[in-house]
């Protein structure tokens, strides 16, 4: 390597080091920590299904039969009858014609936006993967003010997008999108509506079918939904669901489908079992709603749409310190700081896990309130 190349490389690492120092001063350093046995108010396992006996048994059986990994992409060797059965069941669960399985929710969102060509209009609070998808897919994109129907209508007229992307339940603030009203506007302006159901599948709607069916939009040809299997289903993977013609288009042209290794059969089998359990978990959903209301009242916040509650925490340093005080008391909470927060305010992020014993949950909320 020449002296000039060595100098350029050294300059790169020095610049990255200086940027890291600036982030540290602003309280924006991210630290990977191993999981502890703290009371879990940080993970997204809303119904406690990641450890459900039926889920673990299904995953173990598939692991024995198929091995650890999928061994290839979906179009090569990665597809098993487990993958196809899950797609069929998920489509039935959400009232869509078809569904396509991916290795992650991020890949599903990227694949959906890339497949549905044209300008994209996104809710300002939509998940980072949707904003990233528009950029990475090279789509012209704009944002409209969060849940602001007047701003959405104005931009539908001015931007004339082919796709509007929202979340049914927002991943940071935990509020719901007015899907019926948004759909009325997108339909009137000839735009397709993409709804990320990550935090709604399993938690809201009839049998946990999500926000789209709850809004009376299941199977509507003007709606495509995406989801991840890593929230209420306690697994991993992602899915796109919509009209049958979309499946063929994604199989033929979708780069995140064609070139990515399929999710492991054992994980998908566990997710299938989790979906079956979630479908029959009305009592757990009622308990989720009860706990969400209890937590919101204790922290003097609006009641969330499902299982996410994010109390404001001042600046990034204050948020980090608050989360650390909770950890010292044996309670794990999320700590969201810019750019993870769409409103640019640092927050704790509390998620409701009905797998946590009720007395532990009550104590954990008391700790969060006490350490504020």
Tokens read off for 209: 């079918």
Q: Residue 25: is its pLDDT beyond 90? A: no
Per-residue confidence (pLDDT) for residue 201, from 0 to 100: 98
Tell me the three state secondary structure of residue 244: helix
Per-residue confidence (pLDDT) for residue 31, from 0 to 100: 80
Q: Residue 112: is its pLDDT beyond 90? A: yes
Please report whether residue 157 resides in a domain: yes
Per-residue confidence (pLDDT) for residue 1, from 0 to 100: 67
Number of Cα atoms under 13 Å in the Cβ half of residue 350? 33
- pLDDT tens sequence across 86-101: 999 999 999 999 999 9
215 and 147 assigned to the same domain:
yes
Q: Residue 347: is its pLDDT beyond 90? A: yes
pLDDT band at 41; cut points 50, 70, 90: very high
- Terminal-to-terminal C-alpha distance of the chain: 54
205 and 324 assigned to the same domain:
no
pTM: 0.93
**DSSP conformation class of 353:** -
294 and 339 assigned to the same domain:
yes
83 and 214 assigned to the same domain:
yes
The CATH number covering residue 294 comes to 3.90.1150.10
258 and 297 assigned to the same domain:
no
87 and 217 assigned to the same domain:
yes
Angle at 19 between CA 14 and CA 20, to 5 degrees: 95
Please report whether residue 199 resides in a domain: yes
98 and 218 assigned to the same domain:
yes
124 and 106 assigned to the same domain:
yes
Per-residue confidence (pLDDT) for residue 29, from 0 to 100: 81
- Where in the sequence is the domain holding 337, given as residue range(s)? 27-47+282-370
The CATH number covering residue 257 comes to 3.40.640.10
Residue that terminates a domain, selected from 279, 301, 322: 279
Count how many domains the chain has: 2
φ, ψ dihedrals at 250, nearest 5°: -70, -40
Q: Residue 28: is its pLDDT beyond 90? A: no
203 and 318 assigned to the same domain:
no
Tell me the three state secondary structure of residue 284: helix
Residue that terminates a domain, selected from 245, 279, 313: 279
Residue that terminates a domain, selected from 244, 261, 279: 279
**Percent of residues, the chain, with pLDDT higher than 90:** 86
With residue 309 as reference, give the H or E element that holds it. strand 308-309
**Percent of residues, the chain, with pLDDT higher than 70:** 99
Alpha helical stretches, state H, 100-210: 105-115, 128-136, 149-159, 179-188
């Amino acid at each position: 390597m020449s002296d000039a190349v060595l100098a350029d490389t050294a300059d790169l690492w020095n610049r990255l080091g200086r940027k890291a120092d600036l982030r540290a001063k602003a309280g924006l350093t991210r630290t990977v920590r191993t999981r502890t046995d703290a009371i879990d108010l940080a993970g997204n396992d809303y119904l406690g299904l990641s450890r459900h006996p039926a889920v673990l048994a299904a995953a173990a059986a598939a692991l024995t039969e198929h091995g650890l990994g999928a061994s290839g992409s979906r179009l090569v060797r990665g597809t098993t009858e487990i993958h196809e059965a899950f797609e069929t069941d998920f489509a039935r669960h959400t009232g869509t014609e078809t569904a396509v399985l991916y290795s992650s929710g991020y890949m599903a969102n990227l694949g959906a936006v890339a497949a549905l060509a044209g300008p994209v209009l996104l809710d300002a609070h939509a998940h980072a993967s949707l904003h990233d998808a528009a950029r990475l897919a090279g789509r012209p994109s704009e944002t409209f003010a969060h849940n602001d129907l007047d701003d959405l209508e104005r931009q539908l007229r001015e931007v004339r997008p082919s796709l509007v992307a929202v979340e049914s339940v927002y991943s940071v603030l935990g509020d719901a999108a007015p899907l019926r009203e948004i759909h009325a506007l997108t339909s009137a302006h000839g735009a397709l509506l993409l709804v990320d159901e990550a935090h709604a599948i399993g938690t809201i709607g009839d049998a946990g079918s999500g926000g789209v069916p709850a809004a009376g939009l299941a199977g509507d040809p003007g709606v495509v939904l995406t989801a991840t299997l890593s929230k209420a289903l306690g697994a991993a993977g992602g899915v796109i669901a919509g009209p049958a013609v979309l499946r063929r288009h994604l199989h033929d042209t979708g780069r995140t489908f064609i070139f990515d290794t399929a999710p492991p059969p054992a994980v998908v089998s566990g997710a299938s079992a989790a979906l079956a359990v979630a479908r029959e978990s009305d009592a757990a959903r009622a308990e989720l709603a009860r706990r969400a209301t209890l937590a919101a009242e204790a922290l003097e916040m609006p009641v969330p749409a499902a299982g996410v509650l994010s109390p404001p925490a001042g600046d990034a340093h204050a948020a980090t310190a608050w989360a650390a005080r909770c950890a010292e008391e044996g309670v794990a909470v999320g700590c969201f700081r810019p750019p993870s927060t769409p409103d640019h305010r640092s927050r704790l992020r509390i998620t409701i896990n009905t797998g946590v014993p009720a007395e532990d949950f009550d104590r954990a909320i008391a700790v969060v309130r006490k350490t504020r």
